[in-house]
Chains A and B, each alone.
Chain A
Amino acid sequence: MRIGQRVLLASVGIYLLLFFGPLAGFDLFRVIGEIANKPSTLLQQLLIGLANGSLLALIALGYTLVYGIIELVNFAHGDVYMLGAFMSLTVIGAFNVDKGSSPAIKATAIVVAFLSAVVFTAGVNALIERVAYRRLRNAPRLAVLISAIGMSFIVQNVGLFWGSLRAFFPIMGVNSAAPKAFPDLIGRIDVFKDILHIDVPIAFNTKDLLVIVMASVLMIGLRLFVQYTKLGKAMRATAENRDAAKIMGIDVDRVISFTFLLGGALAGAAGLLVGLYNNTAVFTMGFTAGLRAFTAAVVGGIGNITGAMLGGMLIGILAAFSDQYFSSRWTNAWVFAVLVMVMVFRPTGLLGESVGQKA
């Protein structure tokens, strides 16, 4: 049997398994029926998917930036994002604000939390590179990968420990491992109905707006930075060929450090936004979100910045649809099935390209 046929058969198998196996056979028709019955739900889920997807994209960018430059899957990245959420929670706790506080205090708390989280996670991520990866720069790939997995566990346990410090940070609550309540500082004011006074069947509230706007601003900013600034160009040059970059006079170690700073900062921003969006933070959140964000980066074409954004959105929307029309317990199966499909049919990812040098 030819490889192509095998691949086709395997994909059809996965497809059938997902549609007809666990879901007893008739879900496709049920889903079509549901969409036809109430199309606005589809739009609603699209919006939810966009909001969640832009958060995933922010995390995915950290994976893709680092992979692009040193070809390492920084497993600790998801956990750094968790630290961002914990840092934000700690700062907001120190401000002692909650839903009822005045808007000015809430806004100050959010801005300070944002800055602290971003600076903190950027620093932690760069520190991880310095202690756990730099000395292994010329070691076999597997060594760095294992080091990254080790860092992931260490950071996760830092989160667990941090969560136990209720003596210093009362906001952490009684149980160190339990999800923490993240104060709802944004509120859910419907943008269409309550602000614009337009009657539409879908809900789009201030939280969705904040998350989508913030994530877009950060992503566009990153894209422009990498495209046009001298340091951004140095990042691209280092990613394309490290020796050539050295010959150009680029301090490659500094550029790599900076890349980790940048990825960490985006993860910190995502940590705060997720906290404000979902109003919960838990020390394992980095592991689960990291897995999905990594998938998003790979689906989009790892190493490709636009790809990570696109992948994040796609995975976010897919997850929202799965949550709505199938069952949230099947969402991970869907997400990783898409990963498998992309890997089989387009191993470079959707936007991945391989521009080689000609002889």
Chain B
Amino acid sequence: MLELKDVHTYYGNIHALKGISLTVDDGEIVTLIGSNGAGKTTTLRTIQGLIRPRHGTITLNGEDLTKVPAHEITSKGVSQSPEGRLIFPRMTVKENLEMGAFARKDKDGIKRDMERVFTVFPRLKERISQKGGTLSGGEQQMLAMGRALMANPRVLLLDEPSMGLSPILVEQIFKIISELHAQGTTILLVEQNARMALSIASRGYVLQTGEIRLQGPAARLRDDEDVRKTYLGEH
């Protein structure tokens, strides 16, 4: 479904992605793990069109996205809960969610998805008229994810949903990600918390300084000695 082929991205002269190739198939959860600065967020920003790759192709169901303007990529079916959440702090929870559906015109579908988001995140319903900036960290993460779901994406990109959350909240967020997957959402999950990510993903890629180091079924990556040492903190 989503396919990256030999993608190279630069920040000025810094070669951030050095030929990334990955695929996410329909209905999969694929995780991208790696340490700080490995290029995980850059990969997601490149897919979304916020940065343009200098080489390589990104296709969604065979359609090339590299020339499509960022705001149209969303309506083609890619949405994300970005790094740092980037919710709109002065807008209410409801307005935040409405913004998630900005590219859509099907009013009934939007209403249905709003209900769905409230079923997945009942907390957001309680906070519906509160400003985004007044929510707790965990609630903001839920809002960012709910907002991304409002686009009714074909593939959902999640950038470090566990960042800055307490272990209990992390459990809760990952449970919700599994639920979303069970409901049929295709997910590309970027995580530093490799243990959690590999426990729910079907396949994984390990990113190191802009290159894919390892890839394979999540179970195999979990057993890989390098991964265990470097990313799972085992000896």
Contact = CB atoms under 8 A, between A and B. Distances in A.
B79 interface: yes
B86 A244 contact: yes
Interface in B70-126: 70-75, 79-80, 82, 84-91, 95, 98-100, 102-103
A247 interface: yes
A251 B71 contact: yes
A342 B168 CA distance: 45
Interface residues of B, number: 38
B90 A247 contact: no
Contacts of B85: 357
Contacts of A167: none
B179 to A, nearest CB: 23
Contact of B70 (A233, A237, A240, A246): A246
B184 interface: no
Nearest to A255: B71
A18 to B, nearest CB: 36
A236 B70 CA distance: 18
Contacts of A357: 84-87, 89, 133, 140
Interface in A248-286: 248-252
B69 A247 contact: no
A356 interface: yes
Contacts, number: 88
B164 interface: yes
Contact of B88 (A230, A237, A249, A356): A237
Interface string A94-105: 000000000000
Contact of A249 (B71, B91, B134): B71
A356 B50 contact: no
Interface in A210-267: 230, 233-234, 236-237, 240-241, 243-252
Interface in B47-82: 48-50, 69-75, 79-80, 82
B137 A247 contact: no
Contact of B91 (A237, A246, A353): A237
A244 B87 CA distance: 7
A359 B72 CA distance: 30
B131 interface: yes
A358 interface: yes
A249 B103 CA distance: 5
Contacts of A246: 48-50, 70-71
A355 interface: yes
B88 A241 contact: yes
A245 B82 CA distance: 11
Contact of B48 (A237, A245, A247, A250): A247
A245 B103 CA distance: 11
A355 B133 CA distance: 6
Contact of A243 (B82, B90, B91): B82
B113 to A, nearest CB: 14
A250 B50 CA distance: 12
Contact of A240 (B74, B80, B90, B151): B90
Contact of A236 (B88, B100, B137): B88
A358 B48 CA distance: 24
Contacts of A355: 89-90, 131, 133-134
A249 B102 contact: yes
Contacts of B151: 248-249
Contacts of B98: 233
B50 A243 contact: yes
B161 to A, nearest CB: 14
A248 B74 contact: yes
B50 A358 contact: no
15 contacts: A233-B91, A234-B99, A240-B88, A240-B91, A241-B86, A247-B48, A247-B79, A248-B71, A248-B100, A248-B102, A249-B72, A249-B103, A249-B151, A358-B137, A359-B164
Given A236-B90, A250-B71, A358-B136, 9 more contacts: A236-B88, A243-B86, A246-B49, A247-B50, A251-B71, A357-B84, A357-B86, A357-B89, A359-B137
- Nearest first, the 3 closest Cβ-Cβ pairs linking A and B are A249-B103, A249-B74, A355-B133
